[in-house]
Amino acid sequence: MSPAPNAHASGGAALPKPPSDKQLDIPPGPFKSVQDGLALLIVALETAETAALAADSSDLHASIEKELQGCDETLLALRKLKRQYNVGDSQSEADQTPVNEETTKELEELREKLTSYTSTLNLLNANTVRSVLSDPRIVEHRTKLDDE
């Protein structure tokens, strides 16, 4: 994943763009659970980007960047398997190279890694929301809104 900037309004550090769901569009079969894990990761990344914008925190940006580095390796391995097994948008399952047991295990490991990255990002997101909501400026603003 290239660190294409997604700069936010305050001019702080830019976040890399999340992988496009279309980059790894995979038909049903042994790759499907990995695609589902990838879809969840994309949602977590988009949420993290929004949370980072709200929090304007360089620590959060650093944590997200760390997770993205691990994601890069996993996505590269998945792309390699996708090419190796002839999996793609225009391929039917019949046109795909059959997946052996070793590859099935590798796909499961990739899915587990995606799940781990997603869980970590979701935890970061929850902590960020908690932090933003406890910010004295936000609390004061919410109190004013409640009084109106």
What's the pLDDT tens digit per position in 24-55? 444 456 688 888 888 999 999 888 888 777 77
Res 73 pLDDT > 60? yes
> Reduced to 3 DSSP states, what percent helix, strand and coil does the chain have, rounded to the nearest 5?
70, 0, 30
This prediction has a pTM of: 0.65
The answer for residues whose C-beta is within 8 angstroms of residue 48's C-beta and 6 or more apart is 15, 60, 64, 121, 124, 125, 128
Res 127 pLDDT > 80? yes
User: What average pLDDT does the structure give for the chain?
Assistant: 74
User: To the nearest 10°, the Cα dihedral for 53, 54, 58, 63?
Assistant: -80
Angle between helices 32-55 and 58-84 (to 10 degrees): 160
The domain ranges of the chain are 29-147
Q: What percentage of the chain carries pLDDT values higher than 90? A: 14
DSSP 8-state symbol, 28:
S
Question: Tell me: the pLDDT tens digits for 76-119?
Answer: 998 898 888 777 655 555 566 677 888 888 999 999 999 999 99
Of 74, 70, 69, 67, nearest in space to 107 by CA: 74
